Structure 1
Amino acid sequence: MFSIAEKFADDLKVYYKMMERFEKHNFKSSYIKKIKDGIKDKRGAEVFKQVDKLSSIIDSISNRRNLFYIFFNILALWDFQNIIALERWKQKSGHLLRKWFDALGKIEALASLSVIRFENPDWVIPAICEGDETVLAAKSIGHPLLTGKRIYNDLAIDSKIKVLLITGSNMSGKSTLLRTAGINLVLAYAGAPVCARCFQASLMEINTCMRVADNLGENMSSFYAEILRIKKIVTEADTGRRVFFLLDEIFKGTNSLDRHTGAKVLINKLCLTNSIGLVSTHDLELCELERENGNIANYHFQEYYKDEMIYFDYKLRPGPSTTRNARYLMQLAGIDVESSGECE
């Protein structure tokens, strides 16, 4: 028991200071006041004092490492005194710990959201559209977590153009664009500024199929995990809800024919629902969907070469991709793709 308690000695000192600051500050926000009132117990005891009491008990336990403690313990039975004090604290306040930490978590989240405006005064407050149309429109939108190398692009998705089909070579910025749209939409729904010059969006359910991995414990391949994720998106879209979807390299775990056929059927099906989103792909044959379906628009990223090096500008351009760089990247990695050999 003493060993477990001592592990949290340093953390408790931090929590004590945070809780003291939280309880002593006079907040104007009714929501924060509600959180503050929610951590009080029936006795009205201040939480930071109860945390300080536990910290003092653990400090007393830590004195066991003192060379002279053994003599004091023999005379005063201090180990028993400490364990009794610890058990009394647990009975009195231990059941409230989870509630205290949940409250601190909410305050930390609010503090993180509130500081965005001060650290990024050029970010815009998003406009939430309350009409019947499902829309996401942004001017000069960038990834919030990128700083020095942030690139800005424009996005426009609505009931006319429901799907942006993003093509481009490897490392060109397709997945980053999808994350850019998703993270900024989450920030908008949280009431925070977004990394854009202009941003408006409807209230939508955000669904993604990105970075799907296999699960050996459940005997599930990455392809089947992807199928289950997409099934969830389609099921939710079929209910008539507004869905914003981000599909990154869909059906990459199967052969090219099945991938092309499955992606084509899926995208056309999503266009029939009240859903909008972005789909990234290396399958250039899917770009033919723009001619077959007026709700789909092709966009792409491209690279350029200089001094035998590959560079990207990460700028989104209309139309399908016309470049490929897989072979060049393999050559840069030292893999000779020009030579060929025959098995004897």
Structure 2
Amino acid sequence: MHTFIFVVFILILVSLIFIYEHKTKIKKLRILIKKQYGRKPNIKKCDSFKLGYYWREHAEKVAADEKIDDITWNDLEMDNVFCRINNCNSFVGEQVLYSALHCISKSSSFIELLELKISFFAAHDKEREDIQLLLCGLGKGSGSYFLPSFIAKMDAFRISGIWKYRLMQIILASSALPVIFYKNTNFLFVTLCVLITNIVIYAINKVKYEVDLDMLNSIIKVVNVGYQIADTKKYSYENEFHDLKKEAAIFKKLSSRVNILLRKKQASLSGDVFGLIFDYLIGGTLWDFIKYDQIIRILDGKQNDYTELYKKIGEVDMAITLASFRESLPLVCTPTFWGKHILQVEQIFHPLIDEPICNTVNIDKSCIITGSNASGKSTFIKAIAINVILAQSIHTCMAKKMNLPYARIITSMAVRDDLMSGESYYIKEIKYLNRIVQSLSEERLVICAIDEILRGTNTEERIAASSSILKFIDKKNCIAIVASHDIELTQILDKTYDNYHFCEQIQEKDIAFDFKIHDGVTTSRNAIKLLEYVGFPDEIIIDAKKPFLETEKKK
């Protein structure tokens, strides 16, 4: 009796310790969630391949003129922009956010609904934190990011030749029947032989099965989180958006089936001898493989339903992240879309700069931006391009005000030669520019951003070719924003392109930049002064200035 009481006491004590540790963990996690909301994320780098699994499966359904192409994505360092935004609590949210940043839809319905969700979570702190706790349960396990591809290619993960396992089950059962019903021990040897054969089959194939079982675990976690968020007794989100309940209910019955398999796997991994024996005895019936195949069969054919559930849960996480992102910015607005082919921005800035200088400009036609080195030209056109993307993808702008038309964005900036393909800098650049030319369409406005057009060739041909390309672009349904050192272009295109510039103040031992955009063409140069500023030998500086001094004397 005393032993029984002692055992009961130990069980209660262990249970209380477990409950206490669980509550402490949840309390710490809630504090961390509160602390991180509205703050700049700590993530500096991201695994774009891993994050891109969902986007790659989704991309083929998106029209070409609604995608951010890889060149534009890399030109604008959009992986870094993603890292600046990303405060997601789950792998699902990260993948859906990463995918959303690749798309600029022609329809306003997605961003209108997204804005309602962002506003909802910004206004409901307690519910937001509770849902964040649920999303944290999904985690960010490396293998989980493969889930969209697993779902899309479900048929490839079925167990081939499942009939063989069913046949071995039948043989095992048939050999055991005479032993059970007729007490005929002569058949016991046959039963043992079949069981051992099945155990060997199980041992050989279980490694692949357990890897795929981890995917099923992630699948069910997503379903369970969807089902919990859709609980209208706990949360008001589902009453507001009617978003998750339908899809979550379709897969709810799978949870118990997968959980049985998972508990068996956990027992085998515990290191307990009895757990291992149990694992292989049950494995000898090949029950695991049959049950796994049944689950895959249920999922197969319902990929669209599951992908929709996955997307909607990701959008919940994304909406919370965007609410946090907006709180972390010094200045933020939602865009106003209009039918005019005019970009009207007030106090716009680049999201990757911690202490940004804001600029205001009204771009109603193509323009050329001139200015000295390091004066801010490239940063400004990148800020414009990034904000055009974010306005149309996540309905958020780093500005006090931004009015713009729906438009495709395409760039030619960070050109590099490609030694592997044998392409020079100039060949790569003209291919980049040609893709801009080929993308122009009367059906949809294109905003193109070009940094230092045709810098990879000689001056005479560069001016001739650049002016011809920019004239052609200006005649199309396009607003071109071009940064250039070539003052000649501003003279050739003065009737069709507006001119802006960035400038600096050259001091005796320093160069001061205001990083503000101004009307007109630049009149300053600073390349030689920058050589002096970074410490080049005086001999080089003096020699570099000679041509300009001689020109001044002739005047």
- Shorter-chain TM-score category? 0.7 to 0.9
Give the deviation of 1:153 after TM superposition.
0.6
Residues 197-216 of structure 1: pairs in structure 2 closer than 5 A: 197-215=400-418
Alignment match of 1:61 (pick from 265, 270, 274): 265
Segments of 5+ residues of structure 1 without an aligned counterpart are: none
More helix by share: 2
**What's the counterpart of residue 318 of structure 1?**
519
Shift in alpha-carbon separation, 1:81–1:188, aligned structure 2, 3 A: same
Farther off after superposition, 7-16 or 96-105 = 7-16
Query: Of the candidates 136, 143, 162, which is equivalent to residue 343 of structure 2?
Result: 136
Q: 3-state DSSP class of the match of 2:362?
A: strand
1:258 to 461, 476, 480: 461
Equivalence for 2:298:
92
Determine if contact 1:129/1:200 at 8 Å carries over to the other structure.
yes
Shift of 1:186: 2.4
Matches within 5 A, 1:1-344: 1-2=208-209, 4-5=211-212, 15=222, 18-24=225-231, 25-27=235-237, 33=242, 36=244, 39=247, 44-47=249-252, 50=254, 54=258, 57-58=261-262, 60-67=264-271, 68=273, 69-77=275-283, 80-93=286-299, 96=303, 97-113=306-322, 123-130=332-339, 133-146=340-353, 148-158=354-364, 162-190=365-393, 192-215=395-418, 220-237=423-440, 239=442, 241-289=444-492, 292-304=493-505, 308-330=509-531, 336=537, 338-339=539-540
- 2: CA distance, partners of 1:305 / 1:17: 63
Deviation string 1:212-270 (CA, Å, 9 cap, x unpaired) is 44556655444334323322333443646422211122212222222222211122222
Q: Are the aligned partners of 1:248 and 1:279 in contact in 2 as well (CA < 8 Å)? A: yes
Please give the TM-score of this superposition, normalised by the length of structure 1. 0.76
Tell which deviates more after alignment, 304-313 or 314-323. Answer: 304-313
Compute the displacement of 1:29 (Å).
8.4
Q: Structure 1 pair 332/122, CA: closer, same or farther in 2 (3 Å)?
A: closer
Deviation at 1:198, TM superposition (A): 2.6
Q: TM-score, normalised by structure 2?
A: 0.50
Offset from partner CA, 1:278-310 (integer Å, 9 cap, x none): 101122332323xx5333222222334568454
Distance in 2, Cα, partners of 1:135 & 1:192: 18
Q: Counterparts of 2:280 and 2:238 in 1: how far apart (Å)? A: 53
- In structure 2, C-alpha distance between the alignment counterparts of 1:29 and 1:242, rounded to whole Å: 38
In 1, distance between residues paired with 2:535 and 2:257? Answer: 63
Alpha-carbon contact 1:245-1:277 (below 8 Å) kept: yes
CA deviations 1:105-144 (Å, max 9, x no partner) are 44444444455555559533322223xx411111211223
* Cα pair 1:166 1:298 within 8 Å, conserved: yes
Question: Aligned equivalents of 1:11 and 1:332: distance in 2?
Answer: 56
Q: Is the 8 A contact 1:188 1:194 kept in 2?
A: yes
Q: Quote the Cα distance in structure 1 between the aligned partners of 2:344 and 2:266.
A: 58
Partner amino acid, structure 1, of 2:362 = A
Q: What is the root-mean-square deviation in Å for CA atoms of aligned residues? A: 3.7
The verdict on how the C-alpha distance between 1:87 and 1:272 changes in structure 2, with shifts beyond 3 A counting, is: same
Q: Which has the larger radius of gyration?
A: 2
Deviation at 1:335, TM superposition (A): 5.1
Give distance in 1, aligned partners of 2:278 and 2:430. Answer: 66
Distance 1:26 1:240, change over 3 A: closer
Secondary structure of the 1:45 match is helix
What SS does the corresponding residue of 1:338 show, helix, strand or coil?
helix
When the two structures are aligned, how many residues end up with a matched partner? 326
> Which amino acid letter does the alignment assign opposite residue 4 of structure 1?
V
Partners of 1:213 and 1:102 in 2: how far apart? Answer: 36
The 3 A distance-change label for structure 1 pair 59 and 112 is: same
Identity, % of aligned positions: 24
